Amino acid sequence: MLVHVVLHGETDPDDGAEFSHLATDSGAEVLAFLSVQRDRPDPATFLGRGKVTELAGQVSDLSVDLVLFDRVLSPVQERNLERALQCRVVDRVGLILDIFARRAHTHEGKLQVELAQLTRLRTRLIRGWTHLERQRGGIGLRGPGETQLETDRRLIGERIRSLRGRLVKVAAHRATQRRARQRAPLPTVALVGYTNAGKSSLFNTLTESSSYAADRLFATLDPAIRRLQVVGHEAILLADTVGFLRDLPTDLIAAFRATLEEVNQAQLLLHVVDGSAPDRDAQIAAVDAVLTEIGADEIPRLLVLNKVDLTGDAPGNVYEGSGKLMAVRVSARSGTGIPELLQAMTQRVGRSMLRAELTLTPEEGALRARLHRVASIVEESFDDQGMAHLIFDIDDLTWRRMRAQMRSSGCQAMDAPPTIPADG
């Protein structure tokens, strides 16, 4: 049974539709949906005595074995509800963590989810598990004098410290990978957005890859990074990240901080929005809140309105009254609007690529080595005197900087013939 609670003064953007989707995605068979309106939460049961009695009757009549609350319950509220309803009670945070646990496949993802689960479980031990509040005693059972509750709390604390230590190593490994990517001066663009907005589908369309994408919440948890080559411009590193959600658990955000660091390192964020969602504005606000929490609110953002094949809107650029680009409408499924999106991306972060030719003397080997690091060598040949003739593609900004530096040092090789765009 699903219990959806709306408090006085709150807006209900989707009438519990997202909560129902979360429940079915977790594998639950939904027998009933109860919507409740209250002025304020009851400290003991959140719902109040009368509504709990009504709910208990429905649970008994339908033989319900699990009640899911679309609210964050305190340990006391969860314990009291389970006693009154005679079945398991799971709140919104517990449901989201369960879905994450099912979807985590990589070693890092499993560590992050377990850390979030144990951090939450430690608070549940404080007042929820009274059957553990007893000391072990008797012949052969005399211990250090701590209760079973204290023992469990200590063991959980030790496991949390172990997981955090292992995640520090994972974060260090990810930072090493990031530094290796930064040696090649390629801009990074990260896809962010509400879960099930179509980020992974758009990622696959742009990079022509086959990352897992499905019409389900949190289909992908692990970040994927691919190289995106745009004709006439330098390559771009495109990163797909985990989807966000309203009231995303703080412990989960903290556990996934190493993964979300890819967002903080990006030069541009593509905020992918499900243009067909009735609560689109609420979803945008939820993503903005998470970006602020992880410190990514200052990174430039480009709004991408996805699923125009469902909305019927014309694909392409959307401008403000001042003429500034406000958003790009696309369909990740059909590919419409993708050329306009690529153009907008390259205008924000991309640099034009040029094709140049150089002839270098044997004494200019350092310059040749540098070109091999920062440019894409198309052709290279040597004559009998050891002169190296190179044809290469290089982004315009790097080329101008190299020419200025080499001319100031008296290098004649930089007096090269005029360059042309790399795309012809």
Residue 201, annotated as binding a ligand: no
The type of residue at 47 is: L
Residue 241, annotated as binding a ligand: yes
Residue 331, annotated as binding a ligand: yes
Report CA dihedral (52, 57, 63, 64) to the nearest 10 degrees: -20
Give CA–CA dist 85/99, Å, rounded: 24
Place of tokens 């560590």: 111
The C-alpha angle 153, 158, 172, rounded to 5 degrees, equals 140
Residue 242, annotated as binding a ligand: yes
Residue 68, annotated as binding a ligand: no
Residue 14, annotated as binding a ligand: no
Half-sphere exposure of 346 (CA within 13 A, CB side): 18
Residue 408, annotated as binding a ligand: no
Radius of gyration of the chain (CA): 28
Residue 63, annotated as binding a ligand: no
Residue 312, annotated as binding a ligand: no
Half-sphere exposure of 40 (CA within 13 A, CB side): 2
Residue 319, annotated as binding a ligand: no
Half-sphere exposure of 131 (CA within 13 A, CB side): 1
Tokens read off for 368: 């040749």
Residue 12, annotated as binding a ligand: no
Tokens read off for 207: 């990079």
Tokens read off for 298: 């200052």
Residue 142, annotated as binding a ligand: no
Greatest C-alpha distance within the chain:
96
Residue 200, annotated as binding a ligand: yes
Which residues neighbour 54 within 8 Å (Cβ) at sequence distance 6 or greater? none
Which helix (H) or strand (E) is 388 found in, with range? strand 388-395
Number of neighbours of residue 253 by Cβ within 10 angstroms: 16
Residue 218, annotated as binding a ligand: yes
Tokens read off for 230: 């745009």
Residue 48, annotated as binding a ligand: no
Residue 204, annotated as binding a ligand: no
Which residues neighbour 289 within 8 Å (Cβ) at sequence distance 6 or greater? none
Distance of CA 67 to the CA centre of its chain: 29
Give CA–CA dist 152/163, Å, rounded: 16
Residue 172, annotated as binding a ligand: no
Which residues neighbour 14 within 8 Å (Cβ) at sequence distance 6 or greater? 278, 279, 282
CB 301 within 8 A of CB 271: yes
Residue 306, annotated as binding a ligand: yes
Annotated binding site for Mg(2+): 200, 220
Binding residues: 193-200, 218-222, 240-243, 306-309, 331-333
**What residues form the annotated binding site for GTP?**
193-200, 218-222, 240-243, 306-309, 331-333
